[in-house]
Homo-oligomer: A and B are copies of this chain.
Amino acid sequence: MPQKRILPYIILELLQERPLTGKEITAQFQNEIGEFWKASHSQIYPELMRMQHDNWLKITENDSDGRKKHYQITVTGEQVLSNWIKEPVTELPLNRDLFSLKLFFVTKSDSKVIEKLFNDQIALISAQLEHLKARKKLLFADKAPIEQHFGHYLLLNRAIARQEGQLNWLKETLAQLS
């Protein structure tokens, strides 16, 4: 087992609200979910076929559009999902990021390198932070998150808090170094 399968469960989650086509599922991974999980259509279509084969989902009948395939979660699929959700999360994710890597190998004398490394990272995170804040404003401006989007709201807040923490640490540490 190289990695525990996650993708099919994400798809099941998405289908809980309503039936979707492969295209629509793919789009989700480029928008909301893309923040923390990526999957391309070349991964999704085979996965859908496999899930259909395992009877986790089926193609909805009476579909007006000929080529689009609307996938719908089955009772089996709902059970599978329900069991998966109950499994506790027992390990922290491994953060394979280049900044950590370069930071690790930096030596104290590389002050120029360190400075650039920090400034680049600050720029990156600032941009990301702006993006996240803009999205929060767009999606949840004033109004409280409605039922379905509550998790999304929590996640956005968490991402923002994390990036702000990062940014502060970067700025403080950079200031101390110089």
Chain A residues packing against B (C-beta within 8 Å)? 6, 10, 13, 32-33, 35-38, 85, 88-109, 113, 116-117, 120-121, 124-125, 128, 145, 147-148, 150-152, 154-155, 157-158, 161-162, 165-166, 169, 173
Contact = CB atoms under 8 A, between A and B. Distances in A.
A154 to B, nearest CB: 5
- Count of chain copies: 2
B103 A85 contact: no
A92 B128 contact: yes
Contact of A93 (B10, B96, B113, B155): B96
A110 B108 CA distance: 49
A82 to B, nearest CB: 11
A88 B107 CA distance: 17
